[in-house]
Amino acid sequence: MKSIAIIGGGFAGLIAAITAAGQNPDCKITIFERLDRCGKKILATGNGRCNLSNRQAGKLENGRLLHYHGQAPSFANHALAAHSIDDMIDFFKQLSMPVRFEEEKLFPYSLTASTVLDVLRFTAASKGIRFCLSSPTSQIKLKNEKFIVDQQAFDRCVIACGGKASPHLGSDGSGYCLLTQFGHQLSPLYPAITQIKTDNTLVKQVKGLKIDAVVSALEKNHLTRKEFGQVLFTDYGLSGPPVLQLSAYVVKSPKNCMLSLDLAPDMPFHDLLSLLEQICKSPCMRDMKTDMLLSTLFHKRLGQIILKSTGFSLSTPVKNITQADRKKIAAAIKDFRLQVTGVQGFSNAQVTLGGILTKDFDDKTMESRLVPHLYAAGEILDITGDCGGYNLQWAFSSGCLAGEHAAKD
Ligand SMILES: Cc1cc2nc3c(=O)[nH]c(=O)nc-3n(C[C@H](O)[C@H](O)[C@H](O)COP(=O)(O)OP(=O)(O)OC[C@H]3O[C@@H](n4cnc5c(N)ncnc54)[C@H](O)[C@@H]3O)c2cc1C
């Protein structure tokens, strides 16, 4: 009877185990998990709702996967096609878990992450998969073509230990050495899907305020990615969905990156300019100080930092503001610039950018090219998705391939 060790009981490990058991019910499958329970991170996903996947997961632009990063994101092409979002929907349907979409994003019908974990755990248990909990694996030995894990011998081994992000949820980076010990290489690691630190001189004055904005990431003044959504000002910089999404684009070279916020995205520059002119001429504003100029457009404190960013004295009377000044102010509203200084660390990050290089793995099977019968799946590999369900889809697709092939004769 074939035996398989799966190191890491996260989404990828559980999917690999269940797929292996489905492929070959005679396999003896053991999951080694460092925490006292499996899938703790799954419970935190999607703000507790578990955003399982995204219809855009396999989308290509100029032949490259649009929503995945890494030294060779195209490594994920086969897995994402072979075990796509539709396959994920079927997989959960067979386990009696219905799903639903919110726009392009896939969720469990219950909108509750614990449903997903329960379904996976109960299915694994019903298939006779053995759990070794509170069992951190620090070394795997290869002896007579068997993998020795915790003094037990296995025919196949799947490494699914995740990355370094959110270590309190299990993945503390200890899995990388299980692959590097066999000669696999690790790319530089960065925290991603996390808050961005910026020059905070102005933003800390509006800490706690939220606004819908288009946020553009610029590297050496070239646009790298643009996102729309709710931005939260904090004392260290910015947070909110569009900011988390952009973190992967600024993390490698923060000093060369700026964020540009369009704080009135629904208003073209010339409409804004006309509006500012109208405000300046209105009888109730003419004799006011400039600090009130933007108070009908934005929260007062936000209006003030926009004006400060243009170098305006807030005590200047509104009637003294010229057309050239108004152009400067409108430009600051449409392109509010912040110098990036870094991102929040791994403890706040949702994913790790970087990982074990994929060049030494077979993209059709997830098997190591260096060590036969050794497999890897999920975030431990150098494939990172954007925010929006792309990472769980990758963990699913790669986990299915690894489980399927590990269980084959
Ligand atoms: C707060 C948060 C929200 C997120 N929301 C979403 C979302 O909505 N949609 C989405 O697609 N992605 C989301 N992600 C990202 C997604 O959760 C991960 O990319 C995905 O879970 C990775 O799966 P994995 O199985 O590869 O790794 P993990 O889920 O990290 O699982 C790895 C497992 O291995 C165990 N382990 C680690 N080292 C060892 C060792 N040495 N020995 C034994 N066991 C070990 C860990 O304890 C862990 O249980 C979110 C992440 C976070 C932190």
Domain boundaries of the chain, sorted by first residue: 3-191+351-407, 195-344
How high is the mean pLDDT of the chain? 96
Please give the pLDDT value at position 316.
Answer: 87
Residue 371 has pLDDT above 90, yes or no: yes
Please give the pLDDT value at position 285.
Answer: 86
| CA pair distance 268, 247, nearest whole angstrom | 27
Residue 159's nearest CA partner among 146, 169, 174, 143 is 174
| CA pair distance 25, 1, nearest whole angstrom | 10
Please, what sign has the CA dihedral across residues 78, 81, 84, 87?
A: negative
- For ligand 1, atom 24, the nearest C-alpha belongs to 162
Chain segment 159-197, per-residue pLDDT in tens = 999 999 999 999 999 999 999 999 999 999 999 999 999
- State whether the beta carbon of 161 lies less than 6 angstroms from ligand 1: yes
Token pair recorded at residue 10: 């996260």
Residue 366's nearest CA partner among 87, 120, 157, 92 is 157
- State whether the beta carbon of 345 lies less than 6 angstroms from ligand 1: no
Which pairing describes strands 3-7 and 28-32: parallel, antiparallel, or unpaired?
parallel
Q: pTM of the predicted model, to two decimals? A: 0.95
Q: Say how many CA atoms lie within 13 Å of 171 toward its Cβ.
A: 32
Nearest ligand 1 atom to the CA of 390 is 11
Of 229-233, 238-242, 258-262, 313-317, the one with minimum mean pLDDT is 313-317
355 Rama sector, left if φ>0, alpha if ψ -120 to 50, beta otherwise: left
Residue 399 has pLDDT above 90, yes or no: yes
Q: How far is the CA of 30 from the centre of ligand 1 (A)?
A: 18
Chain segment 203-257, per-residue pLDDT in tens = 999 999 999 999 999 999 999 999 999 999 999 999 999 999 999 999 999 999 9
What's the average model confidence in pLDDT over 298-322?
92
Interior CA angle at 13 toward 4 and 109, to 5°? Answer: 135
| Confidence grade of residue 284 (pLDDT, cut at 50, 70, 90) | confident
Name the residue type at position 101. F
Chain segment 129-147, per-residue pLDDT in tens = 999 999 999 999 999 999 9
Q: How far is the CA of 49 from the centre of ligand 1 (A)?
A: 15
Nearest ligand 1 atom to the CA of 51 is 8
- State whether the beta carbon of 41 lies less than 6 angstroms from ligand 1: yes
Please give the pLDDT value at position 90.
Answer: 98
Q: What would be the CATH architecture of the domain defined by 3-191+351-407? A: 3-Layer(bba) Sandwich (3.50)
Residue 322 has pLDDT above 90, yes or no: yes
What's the average model confidence in pLDDT over 378-392?
97
| CA pair distance 388, 45, nearest whole angstrom | 10
Longest dimension (CA), the chain: 89
Chain segment 225-238, per-residue pLDDT in tens = 999 999 999 999 99
- For ligand 1, atom 6, the nearest C-alpha belongs to 45
Q: How far is the CA of 10 from the centre of ligand 1 (A)?
A: 6
- State whether the beta carbon of 389 lies less than 6 angstroms from ligand 1: yes
| CA pair distance 58, 76, nearest whole angstrom | 9
- For ligand 1, atom 22, the nearest C-alpha belongs to 379
Token pair recorded at residue 263: 């704080």
- For ligand 1, atom 21, the nearest C-alpha belongs to 11
Nearest ligand 1 atom to the CA of 13 is 25
What's the average model confidence in pLDDT over 251-274?
97
Nearest ligand 1 atom to the CA of 169 is 47
| Confidence grade of residue 122 (pLDDT, cut at 50, 70, 90) | very high
What's the average model confidence in pLDDT over 344-365?
98
Nearest ligand 1 atom to the CA of 165 is 53
Please give the pLDDT value at position 237.
Answer: 98
Q: What one-character DSSP code corresponds to residue 64?
A: E
- State whether the beta carbon of 165 lies less than 6 angstroms from ligand 1: yes
Please give the pLDDT value at position 327.
Answer: 97
Chain segment 11-48, per-residue pLDDT in tens = 999 999 999 999 999 999 999 999 999 999 999 999 99
Please give the pLDDT value at position 367.
Answer: 98
- State whether the beta carbon of 191 lies less than 6 angstroms from ligand 1: no
Nearest ligand 1 atom to the CA of 35 is 47
